[in-house]
Chains A and B, each alone.
Chain A
Amino acid sequence: MTHRVVLWIAGAALLCPSKAAAHAAEQGFVLLLPTDVYIAAGVATVALTVLVLAMLPAQAGETIFRTRSLRLMPSVRLRHLTSLVSTAILGFLIWRGFTGPGDPLSNPMPLFVWTVWWVGLVSLQGLFGNHWRWTNPWTGAAKLMAFATGLRAPFRYPRWFGSWPGVFVFMGFAGFLLTDPAPADPARLAAFVGFYWYTAFLGLALFGPAWLLRAEALTMLMRAYGKMGIFGRARGRLAMGLWGWQALRQAPPGLGLAVLIIALLGTGSFDGLNETFWWLGQLGINPLEFPGRSVVVAQNLVGLLASNIALISVFAGCLWVGDRLAGLQRSLRETFCLYAPSILPIALGYHIAHYLTSFMVDGQYVIKVINDPLGDGSAFLGLRDFYVTTGFFNTPATVKVIWLSQAGAVVAGHVVAILLAHAIAMRGGVGRRQAVIAQAPLAAFMVAYTFFGLWLLASPRGL
């Protein structure tokens, strides 16, 4: 369809609307909440964390992230087997994507990719630790192929590529998620996912595990979030500590991975921003009669790239100013990589907050589809007349609980980020005073970003 036709349709719709606009009870109740008070409280919490940390002794950061050993890591090697189960499930999903219902709320393919994996498994990875080692759909299949053929990867991954292929792939993924007109169309998604699985598998077969670590964006983002989880490995034992402790124990990421980490937040932020009245106003679109995703593909692509570039620039700018103020002579590249992991808790907190409401609805469709995966009337979970509900969006009390949970995730993410940045600063091998000064602009940025994140949650949305 040409642009002219699209414009004509949009114009015709303006001339002749129906009386139907999306009912927006949830947002209506959010607008009635004293969100300005909540936002002020959230921002104050994060600001207070900064002040308290500046006054505490230098070891405080270390103490906060101290770990507790739980038990020896089991040496069972089941991960290839569980990975193969993942591959089999993915195969089933792709098959259902092509052959199952065209409705994305009845077909398991979009429900499992967007609700179970992107919202559920990514959040679990960040909250608890690296389950992707067991749940990724590639390593088991690669092991099986190596076992069956006796062949090893014939090529070495070119070192000079670094992690940049992964950054590139991630931006492609973000573009699909945010700007494709129909990312939940089952057959379309099945084609994308099937193609992606195959190319990643091919990369793994040709270049070995380095491919997954440097070019396969989903494994890269999962491993990055995995370092945020409370459970991890320390000295051969299972250990637990505050979110982020694992990141402190590892060498800083390379530049490519550091950029990918910032892009996680930039993309997540734009995911929220592009739904707001404010953004639609910038595009000259009436939010009460949003004309559909197909009309805003180019605008959102530009917005996505601009958000990421802006965030990377501001983040780098804060670090540069901090080092100058403290009189430190580190290269910006070094500082950028050093502090990048401190952004992860913010990105995770925002991921959870942003998707909480859709997860509460689509999660019910997931239960429905598990109950009857082939749509043939079976009821594996014993659910016969299961109606999906959105009643919790219709009462002020539940909307308040939901909103405060979202806000809590955002604020907690920022508090952990402040703690992490503080611990990183104290470890930088510089004096305490210098470290506090060097970190100050970044801390100020995080306080401001708390405001932005909470403002996004409180803003009226048009999608």
Chain B
Amino acid sequence: MTKLIKGTTRRGALKTLAGAAAGTAALPLWARYAQAQSSEPIKIGFQQHSTGIGAAYGRWYGRTTEAAVKVINDGGGINGRMIEVIAEDDGTDPKRGAEVVEKFANQHNCDVAFGTLFSHVVIGSSPRAGELKLPYFVVSEGHHVASGMLNRYTLQPGITDVKSQVQAMAPYVSENLGKKVTMIFPDFAFGHDHRDFFSAAIEAQGGEVLEKIAIPPTETSFTKYFPRIPRDTEVLYHVMVGPAVLTFVKELGEFFGPSSPAIFGFIDSLEAVDIASPGLEFLEGTYFWEGNPRYAQADQTEYDKAFRAAVGVDDNGASISDPTDVSTYAHMFGCWETLHVIKHGLEHSGYQGPGDRAKLIEAVEALTDFPEGHAHPQGAKIFNGKTHQVFGHQYISRVENGKLVRVHTTSIEDTLYPDEVDYTTQPL
């Protein structure tokens, strides 16, 4: 049950082969033997949300993963070994997630597992990965890795966590948009995280949260909640998600008309939705956190350009084959960067096979800096080997003429917080 990513062009493969042959000829006999032994592919188990609630994200995570593997394989693979992606669907279901991890370890003999987005699947799968001692690289943004609730075999080196993202917004919001904030959030853990992390962060900046308006998750009409927004509110912070989010934006626009406070939201609300859609005109002039700017910016780096080209995404963050197919651009770079960290770790650990999985964990824990580049197109990052969590720049964009234009890049320092765990003290 394998899915080979056919990244290698004929010419690329020949070059790789020629290079490998030349390199091998120069090695002593025993080393040549070892080289031959490990020429089989590196097997990466991709825990994919192909079905279930995460399928829309899973599709773009899959596309990004394919693109990253093609680039790595075209560049000679990992220590000369090609990557073979073995994708298994977890149904966005924690119980199946654990079964998929087991399959990766026992049935497919994967070197690592990778790619999980939804937190409940991460939390359901991670204990099994720990028991099986299978390195498990998640791309979920949850705070669960850095909070210490998982284990030494679970790492998040390719995407920042929600706690650092939220707290890094506070300095810009308080200095530029206002200090009196009203928060509107869905009344479950996701919204509560925003409420708690942001309240603490804005107070540290000398601001205050005037009102916290929790909306029941099944709500589909919001006008009745808006009168609770205090009149002296300077900034409205919203993080609504789910099918009713467009209704939310429309009703908010109808409620305020042209004279609204500054409005700040997380792009999660409108990930993969065209900002220029009819009915969303009210978003003009409002601000969004973006994990990675969806629209190519005026000062676009060559790395972002190459990343877009590889994944097949245009300057508006939509598929090159269909301009209405907007990607999950704020999140999917995480798959690309995580795969490059895996490559880095495998190469630095002198990894030969599944017997070296513990060495791989130690090698990744020893990594600290990821400079911006083709492997890290979203920006430079700092990895914390103790908490297994990466930290990086966050972006704030403003909607101008129906496009998101970046107005602020946070420092990495803005995203840091004290360690809550030291996984390196756990046995391997």
Contact = CB atoms under 8 A, between A and B. Distances in A.
B246 A29 contact: yes
B321 A387 contact: yes
B414 interface: no
Given A375-B4, A461-B243, A290 B321 contact: no
A63 to B, nearest CB: 45
A391 B324 contact: yes
Interface string B217-258: 110100000000000000000010111111100100000000
B6 interface: yes
A105 B271 CA distance: 22
B49 to A, nearest CB: 9
Interface stretch (A52-60, A181-189, A231-239): A181-189
B82 to A, nearest CB: 14
Contact of A288 (B2, B98, B242, B323): B242
Interface string B156-183: 0000001001000000000000000000
Q: Which of A182, A287, A375 has the most CB of B within 10 A?
A: A182
B218 A287 contact: yes
Interface stretch (B138-146, B366-374, B417-425): B138-146
Contacts of B320: 387
Interface in B67-121: 86-89, 91-96, 98, 103, 117-121
B52 A294 contact: no
B396 interface: no
Contacts of B241: 21, 288
Interface in A385-437: 385-392, 394-396, 398
Contacts of B193: 17, 19
A22 B54 contact: yes
A288 to B, nearest CB: 5
A28 B273 contact: yes
Interface string A96-118: 00011111111000000000000
A332 interface: no
Given A21-B53, A21-B268, A24-B242, A391 B91 contact: no
Given A20-B268, A100-B1, A102-B88, A294 B93 contact: yes
Contacts of A13: 94, 119-120, 123-124, 189
A396 B246 CA distance: 11
Interface stretch (B12-20, B55-63, B347-355, B399-407): B55-63
A98 B384 CA distance: 41
Given A103-B87, A389-B319, A394-B324, A377 B6 contact: yes
B53 A18 contact: no
Given A18-B119, A31-B246, A182-B96, A288 B188 contact: yes
B353 to A, nearest CB: 22
Contacts of A395: 274, 277, 324
A181 B98 CA distance: 13
A382 interface: no
A18 B322 contact: no
Interface residues of B, number: 84
A15 interface: yes
B94 A391 contact: no
Contact of B123 (A9, A185, A461): A9
Given A14-B188, A32-B250, A281-B218, A389 B91 contact: no
A153 interface: no
A25 B94 contact: no
Interface stretch (B297-305, B325-333, B356-364): B325-333
Q: Which of A32, A106, A280, A288 has the most CB of B within 10 A?
A: A288
Interface in A278-322: 280-281, 286-295
A405 B305 CA distance: 39
A22 B55 contact: yes
Interface string B23-51: 00000000000000000000000001011
B206 interface: no
A28 B247 contact: yes
Contacts of A375: 3-4
Contacts of A289: 53, 120, 188-190, 217
Contact of B89 (A24, A184, A396): A184
A37 interface: no
A54 B279 CA distance: 44
Q: Which of B1, B149, B279, B323 has the most CB of A within 10 A?
A: B1
Contacts of B140: 18, 20
A307 to B, nearest CB: 21
A104 B318 CA distance: 25
B186 interface: yes
B312 interface: yes
A144 interface: no
B219 to A, nearest CB: 9
Nearest to B289: A19
B220 A31 contact: yes
A16 B147 contact: yes
Interface in A1-50: 1, 6, 9-10, 12-25, 27-32
Q: Which of A18, A28, A392 has the most CB of B within 10 A?
A: A18
Interface of B: 1-4, 6, 48, 50-57, 59, 62-63, 86-89, 91-96, 98, 103, 117-124, 140-144, 147, 149, 162, 165, 186, 188-190, 193, 217-218, 220, 239, 241-247, 250, 266, 268, 271-274, 277-279, 312, 318-326, 328, 331
9 contacts: A17-B190, A19-B141, A20-B57, A24-B56, A29-B277, A103-B62, A181-B93, A288-B188, A288-B241
Given A24-B243, A288-B190, 10 more contacts: A9-B95, A14-B189, A20-B331, A28-B243, A28-B247, A28-B273, A102-B88, A387-B320, A396-B277, A461-B243
